[in-house]
Structure 1
């Protein structure tokens, strides 16, 4: 098994330092001559169900199809060795989950944050145009403010595979309500949550005081909060919770933008470009212009509660909650079925023998 360490050379790439790690593998900063790259290595733990192998293969297949300046370029890969890997563009800068949770997002002007969102929206549109569903759009999978990158295609699939795909893949806090199909519209739903966070500095549905744990439980929370209008809607925030660079905005109109983005599939924005254009026209107004240079993080009642692990996990490698699900263990299913059959047969035989004995 390949041992990873600084200064080790892998297919001509010199490893520098590990910059991310997760259950599915680890990511290293490396260079090839003057070119800086990121290398994602598959985990070296046993992978009997092949989920780690499928994850890195999905990354290779997606990056090989998509050419976009805000998506890592695929340089090289090895899917045959014992320690499979993929080489891609190195994404520089802070992960957006850290950017939001730390309040550093408000060091950027509102128009600059909207421009970053536009670039990621354009990247996600390019993904969908190639017939690919990302399935894990969230701040932790976006990095950088100079040149933002949409990352982590380890659970991405082709659109034609959706009918047989598991619904237990993704990050629950960025998935649509229960009952919604998990397709390109679920990607855009996740993006709308990211946009809300970049504007308001908090998740629209998540309550740190009462966090859900299971994926379906999280989606059920989203469903109920939207149905009951029990979310952090802009018009329901107190003054301290509204970022200072939104103080001149018509919050009712801004809320309507997100109500549509979070609403039923058939009534959502036709595309991300239309959604972002509506946001720009709503917040970049003459009335709000005096506030654009006064950006300060809002103050929440939860205080430090937002800075939980969910918001500060900024590893580049896949989070355990977003891996491919395990494949069924056919041998285990066979023996379990056989055991059930034996037990049932024994019970029937016992009843028959008891009847004839009487």
Structure 2
């Protein structure tokens, strides 16, 4: 008892020390939670307050309306043309123009323009105008509306959309990727955040896109590491196909196939992420469809041929030699394994008109690309995801600069929130326990002779 014998004089000090330790622990936890809850790149409380431009400013005849995206390299604004049509304009950051990184980002914008000039596909936003020699340099694209798929996955809304429609989306995006590959263009950043819309999906953000014949002269290890293949080879069409397969898995199952919420605490740079991905793929420690607990399978996947999906995704994530050469072939195999009625395809335009040369073109008019059957449309109000213009939900062809660190865990946000809540409960419990122990010690010190 002598070891626990605390005098009346020291007891208050022990109590105060315990209180301060508890408060310090809680404050540290609260600050860490605040940092983890930093807004994703799609969400801005007051975008215009952070902009280097202002509403109403004229840029080569385009009137800025409101900013909908911002990154280190630049900003994307909704703008109106002289004839009142709405477009999306991407502007280089004014501060960046006088920095040492200006040349690099100027080259990226030039490559993005070059890629979009050579692409003509209904699911890729059209290039309307550009001026690289303007101050600031800018490019203008057709306005497209729709929610980014990372947001739909994060909120669980994607899994409420009928499986037939999700497959239809995958089919159209696969066709857009194949179109780029046929033109010798590698996207290099295929992920849910770069796909927009439900009834009319778009593949966006060709900021990192590069032609195959010039890829060795550019920075090779760029992109979002959670969606990059583990091999260290020069990126090519096979790399894009791997990234698309990861995105497709999320569209079917609602979760990333390889990474989990707890990985955020152990992953560091790109190399660590890719090494972990390679290890899990080789050891079969990813979310193999047949090993997912039945209760965790989405309802519309439970009747699928899971063994066939095992083989399909094992091939898609596997070695380059056996990987799918065409993303459309991959989607066709997935569709067969899912045992769902085929969704018919609507009339597509084989040619894209030169929007810059034709001022009469309605840039806001929807393209008749997809035909969703009435029986599928009746299951879900797809128009819910094709929202009107606002700074929080409008879809524009832009994303922040490539992240070489693994900081894009938006798809796992629900799991992360649950983990944070569990940690919070543990911290509160430990704090209460410490307080109880301190009170017991005080009582013992007061009752001891």
Alignment TM class, shorter chain as reference: 0.7 to 0.9
1:242 is aligned to 2:297: yes
Deviation of the 1:39 alpha carbon: 0.5
- Aligned equivalent of 1:318: 399
Task: Report the structure number with the largest CA radius of gyration.
Answer: 2
| Secondary structure in structure 1 of the residue aligned to 2:263 | coil
- Aligned equivalent of 1:13: 62
Q: Residue 141 of structure 1 contacts residue 152 of structure 1 at CA under 8 Å; is this kept in 2?
A: yes
User: C-alpha deviations, 1:263-292, integer Å up to 9, x for none?
Assistant: 111112231121111111111348xxxxx9
Which deviates further from its counterpart, 163-172 or 183-192? Answer: 163-172
RMSD: 2.3
Distance 1:87 1:100 in 2: 28
C-alpha spacing 1:315/1:294, structure 2 compared with 1 (3 Å): closer
| Secondary structure in structure 2 of the residue aligned to 1:163 | helix
Deviation of the 1:4 alpha carbon: 2.1
Distance 2:228 2:116 in 1: 23
| Secondary structure in structure 1 of the residue aligned to 2:216 | helix
- Aligned equivalent of 1:256: 311
- Aligned equivalent of 1:42: 92
- Aligned equivalent of 1:76: 129
Within-5 A mapping of 1:109-258: 109-211=162-264, 212-258=267-313
Q: Residue 78 of structure 2 contacts residue 88 of structure 2 at CA under 8 Å; is this kept in 1?
A: yes
- Choose which of 275, 278, 284 in structure 1 pairs with 2:339: 284
Q: Residue 22 of structure 1 contacts residue 315 of structure 1 at CA under 8 Å; is this kept in 2?
A: no
Residue ranges of structure 1 left out of the alignment (5+ in a row): 287-291, 296-311, 324-358
Q: TM-score, normalised by structure 2?
A: 0.63
User: C-alpha deviations, 1:234-266, integer Å up to 9, x for none?
Assistant: 112112321111111121211111111111111
| Secondary structure in structure 2 of the residue aligned to 1:204 | coil
| Secondary structure in structure 2 of the residue aligned to 1:270 | coil
- Aligned equivalent of 2:43: none
Q: Residue 164 of structure 2 contacts residue 340 of structure 2 at CA under 8 Å; is this kept in 1?
A: no
Deviation of the 1:106 alpha carbon: 1.7
- Aligned equivalent of 2:434: none
**Matched residue count:** 300
1:25 is aligned to 2:74: yes
Which deviates further from its counterpart, 239-248 or 160-169? Answer: 160-169
- Aligned equivalent of 1:107: 160
Distance 1:75 1:123 in 2: 18
| Secondary structure in structure 2 of the residue aligned to 1:18 | strand
